[in-house]
Structure 1
Amino acid sequence: MYSLLFEKLKEVVGAVAPLVAVVCILLFVMISAPLAIVAQFLAGSALVIIGMVLLFAGLDIGVLPMGRFIGAELPKLGSIALVIAVGFAMGFATTVAEPDVLVLASQVDATSNGSIREHVVLYVIALGVAIFVGLAMARIIFGFSVRLMLSLAYGTVIALSFFTPVEFVALSYDAGSVTTGVLTAPVVIALAIGLSSVLAGRSAIADGFGLLGFASIGPIIAVMIMGIILA
């Protein structure tokens, strides 16, 4: 346990250190910020490091093994509908809890002065991810062409772009990007790898990856449809 925490601490410090260094240079050299602001930033950075260490350790200890185990055990139940339903539920639940999605939804609410409610944006994005994770589970089971599915999905995005209000077009692409965050990504990938690893003739590399990129198209389409409805 301690070795895992130490390993994650080294990884997080290595990732965060460049950002802290750049900000410190800006605060001391170019902006001449008060010491109170600098101290506040450093204290916040320390809390971020601690939080990230605990988060990544938790993912390695519990979340990733859970996802792979569930993905590998589901086919044994003999129900394709159940596999797809579990993919839908996991996609929805992880997206609702995704920190990046929560930040985006709250910013949309604040920027629109409450005309686009935070919970509406959150659940629309989560629904889009859930539907496409379910479709991705079906692709792994039936062996559908990933090229074909991506082409159809992006073709739908391009077509909807011509009918969606411009502010929702911009929002939709941000909605797609924030769903590939620190919680959704490991759960969805682990679930797909676990599923593909127990299916005959399936490759964990070919089938387990690419799912996240496909799932991120779902919220783009969902937010565009929301924009058309609200327009």
Structure 2
Amino acid sequence: MRYYARDLLVRLRDALTSLVPILAVVIAFQLLVMREVPEDVGTLVVGMLVVALGIAVFLQGLDLSVFPLGKSLASQFTRKRALVSLLAFGFSIGAAAVVAEPALIAVADQAELVSGGRIDALVLRLLIASSVGAVIVLGIMRAVLGWRIHRFVIVGYVVVILVTYAAPAEVVGLAYDSGGVTTNIVTVPLVAAIGLGLAASLGGRTALLHGFGLVGLAVMVPMITVQVYGMIVYRGTATEQALEPVPPAPSGDVGIGGAADVLGGLLGMLGDVALLVVVVLFFQLVVLRHGVPHPARVAVGFLFVLLGLYAFVVGLKLGLLPLGTLLADQLVARDVPLLILLFAFLVGFATTLAEPALVAIAGQAEEAAPGGVRAGVLRVAVALGVGAGITIGAYRILAGDPLHLYMVGGYGLAILLTLVAPPGIVALAFDLGGVTTSEITVPVVTALGIGLATGVAGRDPLIDGFGLIAFASMFPVLTVLSYAIIQDRLHRRTVR
């Protein structure tokens, strides 16, 4: 019991540490630039603390229940060479994990709000979840058959670009953002564990070439499916005026008033968590016909997952979404574009350096290729990419440029760099692009984008407001691939 309590405190400390960079940037801007203190600053601070607590409890629950059972199931299917069962498990666990992804809940609710209900939040989440499940199946087959990531990346992003030209403008930004928010505190550990676990258990595979790449694919495929969904939703109808964006009531209409509101919110969250629980228990009890090890611990873990997710969305409603909206209003009111761009860069760069998922993936990459990849340099390259990406995304909103021109150009450049980059770095680069958008940055960046699009004359929140997360996912791929190419050229010159 003491061990788990200590572990929870460590997670809470890490979550609070992740808040420090964005708090530092916000405080600096409020005191030095805006020279004012928000009226409801106490509520905003409490909301952010509740977010940190929710993330800590949520992760603790995953570590007690879903993660150990999921890794055990994947390992058992691999040892038994039960490929069909492994594929079915991969699809199910990937889809179920994305449905419970907190950042996706926030973005889906915002999309339903600003689209006037045209985009259904639940349908959007289920569609993205199915896409990620299909990605897991594809990734397992890639590891088993020894395929490299290049052909998937090149063909996949060519399809993304082609679909972008056919998709309605109202859904393009949301589609690209949807790819970025699928890979967070639930999905990344599961997806990375499956990929690296398969590479370690299959002969003739290496972690750098075959273990990485699943996270990058999980970013790409939802971009295609959400744009196709937009074609269906907006087919044959005129664009409706987008609604004024306000902080949404998260899934389940989470309330914080009385006991009835709390109970109703928890019941709403139960649907988000139930699918993940059912998938794990079904494969453990029905497919493998094994009992659940440490059932009491697993039950407590599932309860923690539920409570943590509820706390997260309540904190989101109180703190992060209003904070992003407030900052957007203040920056637009100042009417100084350079301030907006500076704030965008600092938020992206500072929060990415402290991103736990990036620290973990960069560390795993350094272990997989000792001497060839330096974790510290990777983190700086990714942070610069995120900062530059959000800055250029904010500039796009201010200038009113079409999003697809930036996306097509950016991913077209990524394809070219893929062709000349060292093969061992390609999968890692696309994975790093997928782990840059955390549960703390996504709500703030999403609210900032929608707020800018609402405050700048002539902009539409649905068409122009989404897309900042996409920039934050795309530009790190470019910076990491560029870093790898430069390092490779310098190494060859030194050898010569």
Q: Per the shorter chain, which TM-score range?
A: 0.7 to 0.9
After superposition, the Cα gap between the structure-2 partners of 1:88 and 1:181, relative to the gap in structure 1 and judged at 3 Å, is same
> Quick check: 23-32 or 148-157, which moved more?
23-32
State the 1:127 CA deviation.
Answer: 1.7
- Number of positions where the alignment pairs a residue of Structure 1 with one of Structure 2: 231
State the 1:117 CA deviation.
Answer: 3.9
State the 1:123 CA deviation.
Answer: 3.0
- RMSD across aligned positions (CA): 2.4
> Any gaps of 5 or more consecutive residues in structure 2?
1-255, 489-496
In the alignment, which residue of structure 2 is the partner of 1:172?
Answer: 429
TM-score of the two chains, using structure 1 as the length reference: 0.87
8 Å CA contact 1:24–1:38 kept in 2: the answer is no
CA-to-partner distance for each residue in 1:123-168, whole Å, 9 max, x for gaps? 3222211101000111111222322212221121111111111221
> Quick check: 26-35 or 136-145, which moved more?
26-35
Identity level (%):
35
Instruction: Report the residue type matching 2:361 in the other structure.
Output: L
The 2-side partners of 1:5 and 1:131 are apart by 40
In the alignment, which residue of structure 2 is the partner of 1:85?
Answer: 342
CA-to-partner distance for each residue in 1:153-186, whole Å, 9 max, x for gaps? 1121111111111221111211222234433221
In the alignment, which residue of structure 2 is the partner of 1:61?
Answer: 318
In the alignment, which residue of structure 2 is the partner of 1:155?
Answer: 412
Mapping of 1:79-228 within 5 angstroms? 79-113=336-370, 116-228=373-485
In the alignment, which residue of structure 1 is the partner of 2:244?
Answer: none
After superposition, the Cα gap between the structure-2 partners of 1:119 and 1:37, relative to the gap in structure 1 and judged at 3 Å, is farther
The 2-side partners of 1:118 and 1:40 are apart by 34
State the 1:195 CA deviation.
Answer: 1.4
8 Å CA contact 2:348–2:387 kept in 1: the answer is yes
1:18 aligns with 2:18: no
Q: Secondary structure at 1:220's aligned position in 2?
A: helix
The 1-side partners of 2:264 and 2:371 are apart by 43
> Quick check: 123-132 or 66-75, which moved more?
123-132
Counterpart of 1:51 (choices 308, 313, 333) is: 308
After superposition, the Cα gap between the structure-2 partners of 1:204 and 1:213, relative to the gap in structure 1 and judged at 3 Å, is same
> Quick check: 161-170 or 59-68, which moved more?
161-170
The 1-side partners of 2:421 and 2:308 are apart by 38
The 1-side partners of 2:469 and 2:319 are apart by 20
Instruction: Report the residue type matching 2:277 in the other structure.
Output: V
After superposition, the Cα gap between the structure-2 partners of 1:115 and 1:129, relative to the gap in structure 1 and judged at 3 Å, is same
The 2-side partners of 1:51 and 1:112 are apart by 36
After superposition, the Cα gap between the structure-2 partners of 1:226 and 1:138, relative to the gap in structure 1 and judged at 3 Å, is same
TM-score of the two chains, using structure 2 as the length reference: 0.43
8 Å CA contact 2:411–2:474 kept in 1: the answer is yes
CA-to-partner distance for each residue in 1:32-78, whole Å, 9 max, x for gaps? 54654444433333323322222222122100100011011112223
State the 1:121 CA deviation.
Answer: 2.9
Q: Secondary structure at 1:162's aligned position in 2?
A: helix
The 1-side partners of 2:435 and 2:271 are apart by 23
Instruction: Report the residue type matching 2:378 in the other structure.
Output: V
Instruction: Report the residue type matching 1:9 in the other structure.
Output: L
Q: Secondary structure at 1:209's aligned position in 2?
A: coil
Instruction: Report the residue type matching 1:75 in the other structure.
Output: V
8 Å CA contact 1:163–1:228 kept in 2: the answer is yes
